[in-house]
Structure 1
Amino acid sequence: MRELILLRHAHAEPASTGQADIDRPLSPEGLAEAEAAGRWLRERGLVPDRVLCSPSRRTRETLEAVLAAVGYVDQRLEPSIFDATPGTLMELADGHRDVERLLLVGHNPGFEQLAALLHSGQSGDYRGMPPAGIAVLGIPADAAIEPGVATLSAFWWP
């Protein structure tokens, strides 16, 4: 069994005039949420073997706070995560089958749709992945990442 952990970025500041969405930083509340997410992962022994992170400022800042709690792991910026569809995210995760515990750090609506799709086979069943929310999905070691393949083993938010 391998694990796919989805971490939605923590609360971000609203965009200021002329600021690109990708450049929005975490709010003070968001920083506290990201630190709590890191502690939650560490306390449960859910330290990832590899992290793929959206290049947005808010996801990178979320990841920095998480890594401060769990320690250094192999991390890569993955531009395709920004504004990704569940299909794009499944394809990305499936390309890392060699990793026992993969953490993706990104955005909604893609992440909440992906969690629903992998767990139930349908992305419209339920919604709701709050900022800094974490979904932990168990996937059989030899299985391709596809709808309905995963078991939701944990869901947490600050």
Structure 2
Amino acid sequence: MRQIILLRHAHAEPPDGDQTDASRPLTDSGICEAMAAAEWLKAHEAEPDVLVCSPATRTQETAQRIVMGLGGNLSTVIDPRIYEATPATLIQVLEDHVDADCILLVGHNPGLETLVALLTDGASDQGRGMPPGAIAWLHVDSDAAIEPGTASLRHFWWP
């Protein structure tokens, strides 16, 4: 069984002046949400082989709290394709890590919530919603391709 853990970044500051969307940091409550997500993952014995993260500041700050919460030894890859990604792009990112038994992807909406609906329901218009800091933990048969309707939702959690 292959495991895919999708984590939406925690709450971020609104854009300030000339600040770009990608450079927005976490709020204080976002930091707490990211730490709570790390605690939840640890309590549920998540053991990702790799963490793949968007280059946005808020996703990297969320990922840092996850890595520390899971013991600090998690291999991390920054993948620019995740920022503003479509579900098709996110599937390609996941497929690029096909050797991982468990992958943790930290990214953004609407891509993540659409991907969860697509992989579990086979349709992209049935989004479950993913609030900031939310986790969708999916299972895919180890010999199955990552395609619409091939995953089952193991857990759905948010702070």
Say whether residues 1:86 and 2:111 are aligned partners. Answer: no
Offset at residue 83 of structure 1 (A): 0.2
How many residues get paired? 158
Look up the match of 1:16.
16
Q: Which shows bigger deviation, 28-37 or 90-99?
A: 90-99
Give the secondary-structure state (helix, strand or coil) at the position aligned to 1:84: coil
Aligned to 2:32: 32
Q: What is the CA deviation profile of residues 25-69 of structure 1, one whole-angstrom value per residue up to 9, with x for unaligned ones?
A: 000000000000000000110121101100000000001111111
In the TM superposition, residue 92 of structure 1 has moved relative to its aligned partner by 1.2
Amino acid at match of 1:73: L
2:143 is matched with 142
| TM-score when normalising by structure 2 | 0.98
Residue of structure 1 equivalent to 2:49: 49
Mind listing any 5+ residue stretches in structure 2 that lack a counterpart? none
Q: Percent identity at matched positions? A: 50
SS at match of 1:153: strand
Alpha-carbon distance in structure 2 between the residues aligned to 1:74 and 1:152: 24
RMSD between aligned residues: 0.7
CA distance in 1 between counterparts of 2:109 and 2:103 reads 18
**Match of 2:65, as an amino acid?**
A
The answer to whether residue 98 in structure 2 is matched with residue 97 in structure 1 is yes
Contact 2:38 2:69 in 1 (8 A): yes
Contact preservation (8 Å) 2:10, 2:58: yes
Aligned residue in 1 for 2:107:
106
Equivalent AA in structure 2 for residue 128 of structure 1: G
Q: For 2:37, give the aligned amino acid.
A: A
What CA distance in whole angstroms lies between the structure 1 residues aligned with 2:59 and 2:68?
14
- Alignment correspondent of 2:7: 7
Amino acid across the alignment from 1:119: T
Distance in 2 (CA, whole Å) between partners of 1:141 and 1:104 is: 18
Q: Which residue of 2 aligns with 1:119?
A: 120
Q: Which amino acid aligns with 2:154?
A: S
Distance 2:95 2:109 in 1: 19
Q: Which runs of 5+ in 1 are unaligned?
A: none
Give secondary structure in 2 for the equivalent of 1:3.
Answer: strand
Q: Is the 8 A contact 2:116 2:127 kept in 1?
A: no
Give structure 1 regions of 4+ aligned residues with deviation exceeding 4 angstroms: none
- Aligned match of 1:152: 153
Q: Distance in 2 between matches of 1:46 and 1:60?
A: 19
